[in-house]
Amino acid sequence: MAGNNPQIVLERRAGRQLMGCLAAIVIFGCLVCIAIQPDAVVEILGFFGIMLALVLFSKRHDHSKKRNIILTPQGIQFSEGGEFASTADIFKSEKYYNPASIPWNELGEVKHLKKVSKNRTDHGTTESVYNILELMKTDSSREHANPSVIYYCGNLGRQVLNSHTTFTAERAVRLIEKLRDADSEEERIQILNDTYVGKSPGEIKREIRNTPWKQRLTRYCPACKLIILVDGRKEQSEQRCHSCGSNEIYKDEDEYLKTLDKKA
């Protein structure tokens, strides 16, 4: 990333991997059901076939490389749209990928919206949050124009390309606003070069493999909202989040919340 023309690419890697796992589960479930009820093989294949098609469609549409957000010294590149309000929208090409870009000097207000959906279960109500970014241009002729909408992520965040670093929607907005408010391209180059993007997934895996089981400690990073693994052989001050580089990590989320209560 470092250099005279650095860039940070935010991809939906975690979501893509989750869809891959769901596809494997669907196939495994299909095989199990066929083994239990071989006489209903047609109905089973039809049911699980539809489920698999939906998972693969989501993996291709919502989590492909076309959905990446690219931050460069010149501007922000992204793919807007992509939400289907009805079944008919699936057959409208304009509802899929609309590549777009906005130069930093044309970017105005950046809004972070949270779309909350509630699901009722036998054990109570659960909430899922989806993060949406709205980007407005500063052009006065577009005063009443609709904002560019980026469907950022759910609870998994976005990951930096070739890195183990996760960007929550809040962290992405802070970086976007910082780049927008910079006075020159040289300053934006410095901001991108100075942004911590962490180690590659391969490096993290090698570090974990080289850490004895008893020394693999789980910690919570409030900045990234992630559970991470750290090497217990290191001093606490040397234990850092592999995603953001912060050493402000806690044993769990409850410990973090207790520190907030004490500060209040």
Residue 60 banded pLDDT, cuts 50, 70, 90:
confident
Give me the mean pLDDT over the 140-150 stretch: 70
pLDDT of residue 107: 92
- Tell me the pTM: 0.75
Contacts of 35 (CB under 8 A, 6+ apart): none
Cα four-point dihedral sign 187, 146, 97, 46:
positive
Tell me the C-alpha distance between 125 and 222, whole Å.
Answer: 24
Distance of CA 212 to the CA centre of its chain: 30
Q: 238 burial class (0-12, 13-18, 19+ CB within 10 angstroms)?
A: exposed
Neighbours of 261 (CB within 10 A): 7
pLDDT of residue 20: 85
CA-wise closest residue to 159 among 64, 249, 59, 243: 243
pLDDT digits (tens, 9 = 90+) for 206-243: 888 888 888 888 888 887 777 888 888 888 788 888 77
pLDDT of residue 191: 93
pLDDT of residue 213: 87
Percent of the chain at pLDDT > 90 equals 26
Selected residue with higher pLDDT from 98 and 45: 45
- Judge whether residue 9 has pLDDT over 90: yes
Intra-chain end-to-end CA distance of the chain, in Å: 40
pLDDT of residue 86: 46
Selected residue with higher pLDDT from 2 and 40: 40
Neighbours of 69 (CB within 10 A): 20
Residue 3 banded pLDDT, cuts 50, 70, 90:
low
pLDDT digits (tens, 9 = 90+) for 93-120: 445 568 889 999 999 999 999 888 776 7
In the block, residue with structure tokens 């020394």:
215
Tokens representing 25 are: 């589960």
Q: What ranges do the domains of the chain cover?
A: 1-196, 201-263
Do residues 221 and 243 touch, judged by C-beta distance below 8 A?
A: yes
Contacts of 78 (CB under 8 A, 6+ apart): 68, 69, 70, 99, 100, 101, 148, 150
